[in-house]
Structures are given as C-alpha cells and as structure tokens.
Amino acid sequence: MNHLVRRNFLTANLALVALVCACGSSAVAPAPSGPTTGPGVEAWVTTGDKTRLLARETGLAFADRAALAVNVDVNPALRYQTMVGFGASLTDASAWLLQNRMSEAQREALLQELFGRGTTGVGFDFMRLTIGASDFSRTHYSLADRPAGQTDMALASFSIDANRADVLPMIKRALAINPKLQIMASPWSAPGWMKTTDSLIKGTLKPEMFDVFARYLVRYVEAYGAEGVPIFALTLQNEPHFEPPDYPGMRLDPAQRAKLIGQHVGPLLAQRGLKVQLIDWDHNWDEPQSPMAVLADPVARPFVAGVAWHCYAGNVQVQAAVHDAFPDKDTWFTECSGGEWKTNWSETLPWMVRHLIIGSTRGWARGVLMWNLALDENFGPHLGGCKDCRGVVTIDSRTGHVTRNLEYYALAHASKFVRAGAQRIASTAAVDGLESVAFRNADDGTVALIVCNTAAATRPMTVTQGGQVFEYAMPRESIATFVWTPR
C-alpha cells in the first residue's frame, strides 16, 4: 500500500468535503406529526461529532403527505447486483492481536460482535486474507521460502504452518460464528526465489516461474480448504503496479497478469475442479486501463470473474465505467485504510461512507472491504509500510480494550442491515448534499436505505416509496440507515 499516495489523495478529497456548506445546527428535528398509513421505519444514526454512534431511533413511518424538495425516492422494483457483503482484512497483525493480546472472553465478545448478528452484532459477511506477509506482519515471509540462490520447483517447502498460531484459529472462529462468511485471498509477493530480485522486496515474476507460482496459489487454496476454510476468490497480486521499498510487493503488468491467468492459474484451477473466482487488478481507481487490458485478452478473459479496486488514488466512478465496458464481470472493492493523517470524524466518516459504502456499491461492487480488521494503539504490529494506519477497531495491547473507530461505524451502517444475498435497488443518487444507496434483503424483503449528509448543516428531507412518504432531518456530517418492510 503506497501510503504517501493514499495520504495525499484522502487529504485532498476530504478538503473538498469540508468546504461543501456553511456551518449549521447539528440538532435533529423531530419527525412531523401526521396520519400514519404506511410501514414503520427504524433509523440508525452516526454523527460526525460522535454524539450518536449507530444510535437507534424509532417513531418514523410512511404516510400520505407531500414530499419535500430534498427527496430520496426508493424503487425496489429496479434491481442491480447481488451483494456478498462488507468487512475487512484479517491481516497477520489483526490475528496476532486477537489471539495474543486479548483474554478469551474479550476475544469471543469482539468476534461475536464483528461476525454475529442480533442486537449487538454488525454482521461482517466478507473478509480478505493475505497469502504470506504484508506490511502488517511481524516478519516477512512467504509460504515456500528458500535461502538466497536456491529454488523449489516442486514446492516441497510449501507450508501454511506460519498461519497456524493465529490466522487459522481466528478465521475458523469467524466462520463458526458466521457460516456465510465469504473469504478472498491476495499475495503481496511470490516467494523471493521466483522473482527477479530473489527477494520478497520489489521485483517481478521471472518468466520461467509462471507455472510454479500458479501451483503455489492453488496449493494455498487447497491447504486452506483442507483446514475447513474455503477460499471463494483470489487476486493474483496486491497492488501490482507498486513495488514498496520495505515490505513484500511485486510488479505484474497487464500482459503478465493476462498470461498468468489465461495460461496458468485459470486452467490449473479448472483442472483441479476448484470453483475459485479469479479477480484482477486489486489496485487503485486511477488506472482503469490496466484491468481493461487484461479483460480484453481473449485467452485470459474467460477465467477472470471480476475486477477489484482500492481507494488511494483516482475516482470511484471508474468502477461503473469498467463495468459498463465488461458487464459480465463482477466488481469488488477490496482495500481502503483510515489513519492518523485524518482524525476528524466530521470530515472522514462522511468521506468513507460517500466513496466506499455508497459510491462503490453504486459502482457495482458486490463486496466492500476495509484494510486491517484490528491494529493496536501504536498502529501495528507492522514491518515497513504504513506507520499510522488505523484498524477498523483498535485493540489495546496492554489491556485488550477495544476502541471502535470511524471505519467500524462506516461499515456497520451497511453490514448490520444489508445481508448476504441482498440486491442493490434504485434510489436517488444525490440531492442537496445528500447521497444515498438502497438495498433489498432477499431473506425477508426488508429495505435498507443508507444516506450520507456531507454538509455542515442539518438537511430536512423526505423519503418516498410507492407514493408514500416519511420525513427526517439529517444531522450535519452524519450517516443514517433507514430500515422498513414494504407493504
């Protein structure tokens, strides 16, 4: 992860959000009185001033009344992509903290909260693992390391033992809590001996190593499957256009990725009967031409299930553009991190929701992931890379105490109410500083509407569906999720 690019990109965008409107009241006006003729509505609200944190409000209901000029119209009849879910990456750092810096009771309570449902659960349905080390690992390693100058073409040294102490126990417990949890995985680097640098740091894959790297990835899928951890999707390389100087990384240009997918990984997965999706890119919004070049390759394209995106450069709107060019391919959002470069909730919380939860799913994402699930009070453990990234939660390494960060609330406003199998439905995209996205849950037909107010002023608004209306005053710099069952 190029944290300098990320920092500059997020800072610039947050500055724009901060200038949207003049200051105004943060008070929430009560819903207007009037005859209730339609379904009741629950509202869950988080404000940038932190006075409300996923706070439940009741008493709203659809009625026969006039809509305001600021109106969000919801149409469940118009349906788009089916959702897999929302979540974060269980990095080595996250798993180590959960396993080693929390008591059993603390750990179980947090895992139940993150992956469970019910009153206290936020229902993460989607997770990413790293294949070998990332910058958020305590050591740099692959799953088939050899001393410098040696190779291992038979992969005799392949082992997932490095994950047995913490990653595997934590992911297995998450799956036990939420059996519907979908898990994808990404390598940060091939083993060093497969690369031009003979190192996990920098370099690219040697041409003669394409076959053995494909077998390495498939061995990972099979090894995790044997442990009861199914991997539903792989990306070939995290951020393939970036070679970090101090943690594992590897450059793979579009021609290399197309060859690796079309001639090696794709055919090998098919030969082994493994129904694992291959997802290309796994990098920023600023280079859509790179995944489009892979998708244009006639040999690779049949094996590519979709494209994955990160938030650190570019514009979320390219997701829709690439989808429009290749509508048979899925879209995923697989990484964004908050950090200490922007700690102001009133700026950063709306930015996260506006771009990742709303913008990305409007751009056809079937799943949305933040970066580290958990980090400690010192933004680690890490070895190289980002020195001030936040986890979705912070685990105090001395006490096991949990702090829920703004990323937690951004995700929870979707994950708690939008379940696996839900479909995105039509809603007004943007009106007078408000942006929205809506979903219909397949299991019970409930509608979840997520609205973001980026403005520094309260925004009275109405929501309409099927000719009925409810009214609400969105607090300044806030997020609200509205849930109802249409009649």
Residues 375 and 394 sit within 8 Å (Cβ to Cβ): yes
Strand partners, 367: 85
Q: Alpha-carbon distance 5 to 241, whole Å?
A: 13
* Greatest distance between any 2 Cα atoms in the chain: 79
Residue of 113, 335, 435, 477 marked active site: 335
Active-site annotation holds for 239 = yes
Catalytic member of 113, 239, 347, 435:
239
Nearest Cα to 44, choosing from 32, 26, 28? 28
227 is catalytic: no
- Count of Cβ atoms closer than 10 Å to residue 191 Cβ: 27
Q: Which amino acid is at 287?
A: E
Distance CA 89, CA 67 (A): 41
User: Is the Cβ–Cβ distance between 435 and 454 less than 8 Å?
Assistant: yes
**Alpha-carbon torsion (416, 116, 90, 49), positive or negative:** positive
Per the structure block, which two tokens stand in for 243?
A: 């070679």
Identify any residues that bridge with 402 across adjacent strands, giving them in sequence order.
395
CB 462 within 8 A of CB 68: yes
- Please count the other Cβ atoms lying within 10 Å of the Cβ belonging to residue 273: 6
Rounded Cα distance, 442 and 461, in Å: 27
Residues serving a catalytic function are 239, 335
